[in-house]
Amino acid sequence: MEDFSNETIDTLALPQYEDAELTPLHPSYLYIIGLNIALVFGFIAVGAGFGFYFIEELRSYWLYITLGYAGLLVATGLLYYISFRNKGFAFRTHDVIYRTGAIGTTTSIIPYSRVQHVAEHESLIARWLGLASVEIFTAGGSGGDITIPGLEKIHAIAIKQLLIGKIENKANEENKVHEFDPAEDISGNETPVENNPADEV
C-alpha cells in the first residue's frame, strides 16, 4: 500500500497562462467594428436631425449636442479599438484561452473536456471580408460560452475541426467507460438467474 502524501504546492511555480502567446484577431475585423459604429451613430445623427427640424427649442443647443455627439463617437471608437487590440486566443494541448475587454480584461480558460458543441458564424460583411466567428458552447451553460470573432475563414474551419475532434474523442472515451456488463440488462439491473429445480431440496 502506498503511503498517503499531501504536500504543499508552490502556486508560484505552476505554469502561468500569461506565458501563452495569444493570437490576435484578423486586422480586417476592424472594418466590421467601424461599420457597426457608423450604423449606430448614423441613426443617432438622423434622429438628432429630425429633432432639430421639428423641435425648435433644440436648435439653441445645437453646439452642445454636436460636441457631445462628437465626444461620444470618439470615445466609443477608442474603446472598441482598445478592445480589438486586447482580444486574443490560443489553443493549447488541453484547453483554449480567450482574452477580451477594453478598460479591464477578462481571460477565459476552457478545458476541452467541457466543450459540448461548436458553431461557425458568418455575417454578410464578414463573408465578403473572408472572416468568420467560432462559438464554443460549454457544459457550464451560457455563462461559460465564448465567441471568438474576427477569424480568417480557413482558420475558423481549422478551429472548428479541432474542437469537433476533441468532442468525438471525449464521447468515445465515455462510451468505453459506460460499456455495460453482459450480465446486466439495459436498465442497469442485474439479470435475474433462475434456480434449477434439481438444485432445490
Break the chain into its structural domains and give their ranges: 24-177
| Integer Cα distance of 14 and 11 in angstroms | 5
- Could you tell me the sign of the dihedral formed by the alpha carbons of 70, 76, 81, 86, in that order? positive
φ/ψ (deg, to 5) at 175: -65, -35
CATH 2.30.29 is held by the domain 24-177: yes
Q: State what percent of residues in the chain have pLDDT above 70.
A: 81
- When pLDDT is cut at 50, 70 and 90, the band that residue 46 belongs to is very high
Instruction: Quote the CA–CA distance of 136 and 110 in Å, as a whole number.
Output: 9
Kindly report which listed range (43-52, 112-121, 168-177) carries the lowest average pLDDT score: 168-177
pLDDT value of residue 16? 72
- What pLDDT, on the 0 to 100 scale, is given for residue 178? 66
Span 9-20, pLDDT tens digits: 776 666 676 778
179 band by pLDDT with thresholds 50, 70 and 90 = low
Q: What pLDDT digit, counting tens, does each position of 59-102 carry?
A: 889 999 999 999 999 999 999 999 999 999 999 999 999 999 99
Average pLDDT, the chain: 85
Q: Please identify which residue in the block is written with the cell numbers 498517503.
A: 4
**pLDDT of 180 above 80:** no
The alpha carbon of residue 197 and the mean position of all alpha carbons in its chain are separated, in whole angstroms, by: 64
Angle at 91 between CA 14 and CA 134, to 5 degrees: 140
Please, which pLDDT band fits residue 171 given cuts at 50, 70 and 90?
A: confident
Residue 35 has what pLDDT? 96
Angle value at C-alpha 14, between 13 and 15, nearest 5 degrees:
120
Rounded average pLDDT over 31-60: 93
Alpha-helical runs (H) found in 55-134: 62-86, 124-129
pLDDT of 193: 46
Does the pLDDT of residue 131 top 50, yes or no?
A: yes
Q: How confident is the model at residue 1 (pLDDT cuts 50, 70, 90)?
A: low
The whole-number pLDDT of residue 5 equals 77
CA distances from 191 to 47, 177, 182, 195, 201 (A): 74, 20, 9, 13, 24
Alpha-carbon torsion 30, 36, 39, 44, what sign?
negative
Residue 132 is predicted with a pLDDT of 97
Nearest to 158 by CA among 60, 89, 61: 89
